[in-house]
Amino acid sequence: MAVAMPGLVTEIVRRSDLAKRFIVLPKRWIVERTIAWLNRCRRLAKDWENRNHNALAFLHLASIRLMLRKLCNPS
């Protein structure tokens, strides 16, 4: 992944083993919400594509669709 996207910085946020109750982890809910939105697209819900570049193209299309919906319906 580092070769394909050299400017990408990732941070793994781990839950503390000492935590006894619910604690909000930073930025994790944003990622989970975005993945849930993308999984609402039928083509992405299952692994139908034979090639990675086809799957990536449909992922881009689904992302564009989400962005357009946010821009056109700012409610």
Higher pLDDT, 54 or 72: 72
Tell me: the pLDDT tens digits for 47-64?
Answer: 766 777 878 888 888 889
- The answer to whether the predicted template modeling score (pTM) of the entire model surpasses 0.85 is no
Tell me: the pLDDT tens digits for 5-54?
Answer: 778 787 777 777 887 887 777 777 777 888 888 888 877 777 766 777 87
**How many helices (DSSP H) and strands (DSSP E) are in the chain?**
3, 0
Residues 6+ apart with CB under 8 A from 38: 44, 59, 62, 63, 66
Dihedral angle over CA of 4, 7, 13, 14, nearest 10: 50
How far CA 3 is from CA of 6, 8, 60, in Å, comes to 6, 10, 20
What's the confidence (pLDDT) of residue 55? 80
What's the confidence (pLDDT) of residue 75? 66
